[in-house]
Amino acid sequence: MAPIVVLSFLLTSCGSDKSNTNTTTVSTATTSTTATTNQTIPSTTATDSNDQGAAKEATRTGVIPTPTVEAAMSHIAKTPQPRPFKLIRASASTADKVIPEVDHQPIAEFWQARGEPGEFGGTFTVGAFGQGPKTFNKWQAADVESDGICQLMYEDLLAPDPWTGQYYPKLAKSFSISADKKEITFVLRKGLKWSDGHPLTADDVVFTFDTIVRKGYGNSSYRDVLSVHGKFPDVIKIDDLTVKFRTTVPFAPILNGLRVAIAPKHILEKLTKKPVAEFGKFWDVNTDLSTLVVSGPFKVSRYLPAQRVELTRNPNYSMVDSLGRRLPYLNRFDVSIVPDQPTEILKFYGNETDFLDIRAVRGSDAATMKKRETEGGFKMYNLGPDDGTMFIMFNMNRRKNPKGKYYVDPIKQKWFESRSFRQAVSHAINRKQIISNVLRGVGLPLYTAESPASIYVDKNLGGYAQDLVLAADLLATDGFVKKGEWLYDKDGHQVEFTLNTNAGNTTRDAVCVMVVNELKKLGIKANYQPIDFNILIDKVETSLDWQAVVMGLTGDKLEPYNGANIWKSNGRLHMFNQRLPAPDGSIPVTDARDFEIFIDQCFDKGATTFDPAERRKLFDAYQEVAYDELPFIYLYSTLDITAMKNKVGNYMPTPLGIWYTPKGSLHNIEEIYIKKAVH
């Protein structure tokens, strides 16, 4: 992809990151119930001045501040937390506004948005690089682009507050959790309507969970997130507006799992009588778009492949502004599909788009973009560290492949098995230098399994500077000896391994070169070999034929249990010691290490514990073990930055409010508007 590399070079004078191909983004699930208190959120705290913010960040997360962080952190997003949503009871409603009820007989209930009154009309355009959506079927969507667009069309029962991470009812009016924590009852708002005018009731909710999710129509990940020990919760309709979910054991991540778009039963029911495959084809990108029925603020009205998705306003959307007028303000929401990130930025500069999401603004571009702020009529917003983590890991697999050969050479197994070896590597890496040289200061050094963005990050786990003497001492304790230039283990074998990462990502390339250099100082010979992303994933997950890898994974700011796939020893992404699934799909575990078993227990208990303090203890414990054992040696987290044109009103970005439009910060899209006076 030479042209793209050159284009980014021209645009940004080199260096790049967060290419969408690499940190695959969590799209379907996020968040937790019992969340926690405000002050634990590392990045939400509003700060007064930039440098102060960086300093606070540093003290709070226990990391070393990098000198250039402030330079790039021009505007730390300090959107003040608004009042809670207000329930407006209406006795009647028209297409434009609602008439507040007087006689205590509301026929419809609306949430009132929290921003300033805006102006109606206008088109808001965002860019999205990639191949465009693959489907407009929300329950089928598994890729970020499709899911991002579908999120504008459908709403869930509940949503996490972008300021606190606490759940608030969305389609629901309220929800309550029973004393034994096994039952959650949702009461829907009155008078909810689908875009075709059909009422949205408890039947739709029951249909969504009991038929679509439970029977695995579409993306079956939803079912797996909700299942506790393989058992799906009972979904019980109490009356037309009330639905109860019951689990066999208390399951804390359930609120997160319940974040599934409610499906229109009157449309989709006929499909669920057909084979599952039929469901996947329904509402695909070639569908007659007038047949779409939605509950969210916008609805796809036109799709031009490889060019644009046009969404128009849903007149039946169930929110009003502070003057009682029906939202959304925007007439149209356009997603402009561009092949790559540099073109997306060019279109933004050329006033063809209004917003750049966090995928589009790479750390290394931030400084260049900052210079164009005034001229370009836009503002950049720093939303703090990303939930993703970048790490180096060693293949700690001790098993044999089906041909009877060890996946990892037994000589190398001994090194990777040595905790001192992994700790030495961690101490040898100069994270601070990686951040200032490669990320241009737009990142934070990382030492913990949860990113500093997570409300569960264990702040007692401090950072450490590069210390080659300590690293050498650690190696010596396990019998490694440096003879001349290179290191030898106690049996006399030279320490040498292959280090892979995905080719074409200049950031990871640079990181790997720096890591190789630091390791060389310890006498460790790492042969760096970049390979294609798809091949890398195949090695790490299927063939298991690898030695050391630098890669990244997305995390979750609100719900650490979403890392269960990675951390539990039978996880599908337990990459440092991947076990392959048996023919029946289960992953048998026979040889877990003590620390793997301990982490398994932390996650299992964390799932069934609702008490925030207890949960924190459990997730702290797992992070402490991970910090000590270092199955993943963490390197850094990038900072999330967005850019918005000044003509757009009511933009309220927050570090936790990142989900719409693949990873955009338009959580309050219904009240975003275009200021006509300015334009």
Q: Which of residues 584-623 bind another protein (CB under 8 A)?
A: 585, 587
Q: Does 6 bind another protein (CB under 8 A)?
A: yes
What are the strands, taking DSSP E only, across 343-432?
Answer: 355-356, 378-385, 389-394
List the one residue from 74, 185, 221, 646 that touches another protein (CB under 8 A). 221
List the one residue from 157, 235, 319, 338 that touches another protein (CB under 8 A). 338
Q: Which is nearer to another protein, 248 or 534 (CB)?
A: 534
Q: Which is nearer to another protein, 87 or 587 (CB)?
A: 587
Question: Which residue stretch of 98-106, 213-221, 451-459, 462-470 sits at the interface with another protein (rule: CB under 8 A)?
Answer: 213-221
Q: How many chain residues interact with another protein (CB under 8 A)?
A: 75
With beta carbons less than 8 A apart as the criterion, state whether 606 and 252 touch. Answer: yes
Question: Which residue stretch of 241-249, 263-271, 284-292, 626-634 sits at the interface with another protein (rule: CB under 8 A)?
Answer: 284-292
In the range 85-144, which residues lie near another protein by CB under 8 A?
123, 125, 131, 134-135, 140, 142-143
Nearest distance from C-beta of residue 306 to another protein, angstroms = 3
- Sheet with 234-239, edge to edge strand ranges: 172-177, 183-188, 242-246, 234-239
Beta bridge partners of 175: 186
> How many angstroms separate the first and last alpha carbons of the chain?
38
List the one residue from 15, 118, 385, 563 that touches another protein (CB under 8 A). 563
List the one residue from 12, 28, 164, 501 that touches another protein (CB under 8 A). 28
Rg (alpha carbons) of the chain, rounded to whole number: 25
Burial class (CB in 10 A: 0-12, 13-18, 19+), 562: buried
Which DSSP state fits 617?
H
List the one residue from 67, 84, 479, 581 that touches another protein (CB under 8 A). 581
In the range 398-457, which residues lie near another protein by CB under 8 A?
none
CA 317/CA 37 separation, integer angstroms: 31
Question: Which residue stretch of 71-79, 97-105, 159-167, 565-573 sits at the interface with another protein (rule: CB under 8 A)?
Answer: 565-573
Q: Which is nearer to another protein, 201 or 554 (CB)?
A: 554
CA-CA distances (angstroms) from residue 594 to 6, 395, 590? 48, 17, 12
Tokens 């356009």, located at residue: 334
Q: Which is nearer to another protein, 326 or 647 (CB)?
A: 647
Nearest distance from C-beta of residue 545 to another protein, angstroms = 12
Nearest distance from C-beta of residue 542 to another protein, angstroms = 7
What is the phi/psi pair of residue 615, to 5°? -60, -45
- Which residues does 244 contact at the CB level (< 8 Å), separation at least 6? 183, 184, 185, 186, 235, 236, 238
Nearest distance from C-beta of residue 17 to another protein, angstroms = 16
List the one residue from 216, 315, 324, 463 that touches another protein (CB under 8 A). 216
Q: Does 50 bind another protein (CB under 8 A)?
A: no
In the range 242-281, which residues lie near another protein by CB under 8 A?
276-277, 280-281
Q: Which is nearer to another protein, 140 or 395 (CB)?
A: 140
List the one residue from 188, 514, 553, 630 that touches another protein (CB under 8 A). 553
Binding marks (x or -) toward another protein, 310..329, rule CB under 8 A? x-------------------
Q: Which is nearer to another protein, 257 or 264 (CB)?
A: 257
Q: Which is nearer to another protein, 124 or 194 (CB)?
A: 124
Q: Does 285 bind another protein (CB under 8 A)?
A: yes
Tokens 């990873």, located at residue: 663
List the one residue from 99, 304, 476, 597 that touches another protein (CB under 8 A). 304
CA 519/CA 460 separation, integer angstroms: 27
List the one residue from 246, 302, 400, 679 that touches another protein (CB under 8 A). 302
Nearest distance from C-beta of residue 338 to another protein, angstroms = 5
List the one residue from 336, 577, 637, 661 that touches another protein (CB under 8 A). 336
Pick from 253, 257, 186: nearest CA to 220: 257
With beta carbons less than 8 A apart as the criterion, state whether 150 and 297 touch. Answer: no
List the one residue from 82, 117, 324, 339 that touches another protein (CB under 8 A). 339
List the one residue from 308, 493, 617, 675 that touches another protein (CB under 8 A). 308
Provide the token pair at 264: 């229109």
Pick from 147, 162, 50, 160: nearest CA to 650: 162
Q: Which is nearer to another protein, 332 or 493 (CB)?
A: 332
Which DSSP state fits 181?
S
List the one residue from 138, 347, 431, 616 that touches another protein (CB under 8 A). 347
Alpha carbons within 13 A on the beta-carbon side of 518: 22
Nearest distance from C-beta of residue 450 to another protein, angstroms = 13
Q: Does 367 bind another protein (CB under 8 A)?
A: no
DSSP-assigned letters across all residues of 112-162:
EP-S-------EEEEEEESS--SBS-TTT--SHHHHHHHHTT---SEEE-T
List the one residue from 340, 386, 596, 629 that touches another protein (CB under 8 A). 340
Angle value at C-alpha 65, between 62 and 66, nearest 5 degrees: 145
Q: Which is nearer to another protein, 219 or 423 (CB)?
A: 219
Provide the token pair at 219: 């993306």
Judging by DSSP bridges, how do beta strands 319-320 and 108-112 pair with one another? parallel
> What angle do helix axes 410-417 and 419-428 make, rounded to 10 degrees?
70
Q: Does 203 bind another protein (CB under 8 A)?
A: no
Q: Does 637 bind another protein (CB under 8 A)?
A: no
Question: Which residue stretch of 230-238, 243-251, 283-291, 596-604 sits at the interface with another protein (rule: CB under 8 A)?
Answer: 283-291
Q: Does 305 bind another protein (CB under 8 A)?
A: yes
Provide the token pair at 311: 């969404």
Which DSSP state fits 40?
G
Q: Which residues of 152-172 are buried (b: 16+ CB within 10 A; e: fewer)?
A: bbbbbbbbbbbbbbbbebbbb
Nearest distance from C-beta of residue 362 to another protein, angstroms = 18
- Element housing 626 (H / E): helix 612-629
Question: Which residue stretch of 341-349, 378-386, 459-467, 623-631 sits at the interface with another protein (rule: CB under 8 A)?
Answer: 341-349
List the one residue from 225, 311, 360, 630 that touches another protein (CB under 8 A). 225
In the range 484-543, which residues lie near another protein by CB under 8 A?
532-538, 541-542
Q: Does 286 bind another protein (CB under 8 A)?
A: yes
- Which residues does 208 contact at the CB level (< 8 Å), separation at least 6? 260, 261, 262, 263, 265
List the one residue from 10, 249, 481, 597 that touches another protein (CB under 8 A). 10
Judging by DSSP bridges, how do beta strands 108-112 and 525-531 pair with one another? unpaired
List the one residue from 19, 27, 418, 423 that touches another protein (CB under 8 A). 27
